[in-house]
Structure 1
Amino acid sequence: MTAFARITLLSLVLGLSACAVHRPPPAPTGPTIPPSGPSTQPSTRPSGPVTPPPKPLPTKSPTFAPPPGAASHWDGKMQVYVLDDQPDTFYRQRTYYRWSNGWSRSISPNGPWEDTDVQGVPPGLSKQYAQ
């Protein structure tokens, strides 16, 4: 054998022998200390039915874009955005809708407002504010 092969073989044997000689540390033999805190004993009474928490309502529509530059949230029941700063004002598809003893619509949240009937508003709004 060449000197290089002998050194390589010797290095492998010594390296692997270190793995065979190493022992794991001994397990602790002292008394075990119970965890502090309240006891978690099972109850003898069955608990009532578990109700899941309500689903959070989405703040954005998956289909319609929110109104530009206005604070709003999506109302899934009415299928429109509700403007947070203007009461009874809604937005959907580049049109604002306002309820004030009747429906009106505009392309701006500040007007000018054009009167319309129930057919001129999204169906969810007409159901919510049925006359």
Structure 2
Amino acid sequence: MNRLMTAALAATLLSLAGCTLHSPAPGTGGTTGSPSAPPGSPTVTKSHPRFAPPPGVSSHWNGTLGVYEIDSEHDTYYRERTFYRWQDGWSWAGTLQGPWEPVDSTGVPPALYRHHAQ
């Protein structure tokens, strides 16, 4: 029994040994602009290391807004399994097809809300 537990622990540790986290080298990582982008320009990349992109939808990560922008839809965004849409007010949905429900500022990521509050 002790041998079986030791083997299971060893297998678990070996499988975890391949998991590492690292940051890309400066100037790499899929940015759409040059590494010397002008100050104040939006931080745009294809993906984000923490937030998964929307499934089955073409999008890109906007670091300034803290959300994915949906490429095929105007003023439509995604973060953490939620789509957000601006059409003279905010609404949210679990899928791009809806149903869309109205939401106030407390239900929208702060930087995104401020972007459309201007």
- State the TM-score bracket (shorter-chain normalisation): 0.5 to 0.7
Aligned partner of 1:79 in structure 2 is 66
Aligned partner of 1:101 in structure 2 is 88
The answer to whether structure 1 residue 91 and structure 2 residue 75 are counterparts is no
Kept in 1: contact 2:91–2:100 (CA 8 A): yes
The range that moved more, 53-62 or 75-84, is: 53-62
The answer to whether structure 1 residue 129 and structure 2 residue 116 are counterparts is yes
Aligned partner of 2:37 in structure 1 is 54
Larger radius of gyration: 1
Q: Distance in 2 between matches of 1:61 and 1:78?
A: 12
Letter in 1 for 2:68: Y
Deviations 1:30-49 (A, max 9, x none): xxxxxxxxxxxxxxxxxxxx
Secondary structure (helix, strand or coil) at the match of 1:86 reads: coil
Shift of 1:53: 3.4
Describe the shift of the 1:100–1:61 C-alpha distance in structure 2 as closer, same or farther (beyond 3 A): same
Q: Distance in 2 between matches of 1:110 and 1:84?
A: 15
Aligned partner of 2:102 in structure 1 is 115
After TM superposition, the score normalised by the length of structure 2 is: 0.63
Residue correspondences, number? 80
Unaligned runs of 5+ in 2: 1-34
Deviations 1:108-127 (A, max 9, x none): 10110000001110111111
- CA RMSD, 1 decimal: 1.8
Identity of aligned residues (%): 49
After TM superposition, the score normalised by the length of structure 1 is: 0.57
Q: Distance in 2 between matches of 1:60 and 1:128?
A: 20
Letter in 1 for 2:63: G
